[in-house]
Amino acid sequence: MGATTDTSNETIDLTIKVWRQSGPDDRGEFRTYDLKGVSTHMSFLEMLDVLNEQLLAGDEEPVAFDHDCREGICGMCGMVINGQAHGPDRETTTCQLHMRRFNDGDTIVIEPWRATAFPVIRDLVVDRSAFDRIIEAGGFVSVNTGNPPDANAILVPKDDAEQSMNAAACIGCGACVAACKNASAMLFVGAKVSHLALLPQGKPERKQRANDMVAQMDKEQFGSCTNTYECEAACPAGISVENIARLNREYLRSLLPF
């Protein structure tokens, strides 16, 4: 990490240029606010909390943004900061980005995820239900609650389990879509398809799964993958584009009769 390692509690002054949009039908615009005395210990979302308190004091409606666990795992938060999904740090969600990464006097431009499949609800909040519908299309193993075999009856080579876990670590935040120049969801879909295709439990349905999930992905109007790998660089969970290749492979396999 290239961040400064200065631990003293400095404060910085910032100019925040943030996207404001009152609802899905509003055209939206950028508004600029001055924010003084931001502690460098703050997380990015805490900085926005402070901005919102300032707006409230001035009788302006606060900036709406999604957030929940604030420890980088729920996938709820996400915004494009100075043109980068989740900001400048790699493998870091917006909530885990800290203000020591910025300098006194900086202007920070904040925009919502932009994709046709992720319509803006308000300000920085977007509707990511398209992801749920993709999972609904096939991101599961068809097993009912009841009496599956003993857990150790299904042996999984350690390496497969590890690779599967690498893919399963996806937090579904949508940064891959936001960062992709085509707003493609291939990394998200690739991660889920890989997670299940690598495990014996997921093999019986692998063809149907790849087919259905890709069909849904297209229906949601995500773009296609032109292999520029911005998604991988933006992914806070470190999901590799290897999973996109695997998705392509699984899809190709689903077309074969054997």
223 in contact with another protein (CB under 8 A) = yes
Question: In the range 184-203, which residues lie near another protein by CB under 8 A?
Answer: 184, 195-196, 199, 201-202
Tell me, by CB under 8 A, how many residues bind another protein: 133
Residue 250, Cβ density class (10 Å: 0-12 exposed, 13-18 middle, ≥19 buried)? buried
Cα–Cα distance for residue pair 112/102, rounded to 1 Å:
20
The residues in 158-187 that bind another protein, with binding defined as CB under 8 A, are 158, 161-162, 164-165, 168-169, 171-172, 179, 181-184
Q: For residues 105 and 142, which CB has a smaller minimum distance to another protein in the complex?
A: 142
104 binds another protein (CB under 8 A): no
CB of 2 to another protein, least distance (A): 10
CB of 116 to another protein, least distance (A): 5
Task: Pick the binder of another protein from 31, 33, 46, 106 (CB under 8 A).
Answer: 46
Q: Token match 């996938």: residue?
A: 75
Spatial separation of the C-alpha atoms in residues 152 and 144, rounded to whole Å: 18
Task: Tell whether residue 249 is a contact of another protein (CB under 8 A).
Answer: yes
209: three-class secondary structure by DSSP: helix
- With respect to another protein, which residue has the nearer C-beta, 34 or 219? 219
**In the complex with another protein, which residue's Cβ is closer, 49 or 106?**
49
Of the pair 147, 258, the CB lying nearest another protein is at 147
Measured CA to CA in angstroms, residue 171 lies from 38, 69, 250 at distances of 29, 12, 22
Q: Report in angstroms how near the CB of residue 14 gets to another protein at its nearest.
A: 14
Whichever of 33 and 228 has its CB closer to another protein, that residue is 228
* Cβ 227 to another protein shortest distance, Å: 4
Strands 125-126 and 120-122: antiparallel
Q: Identify residues 24-43 at the interface with another protein (CB under 8 A).
A: 30, 39, 41-43
CA distance to 2, 11, 70, 256, per residue, from 6 (Å): 12, 12, 23, 57
132 in Cβ contact with 38 (< 8 Å): no
- Calculated CA dihedral for residues 121, 227, 90, 170, nearest 10 degrees: 60
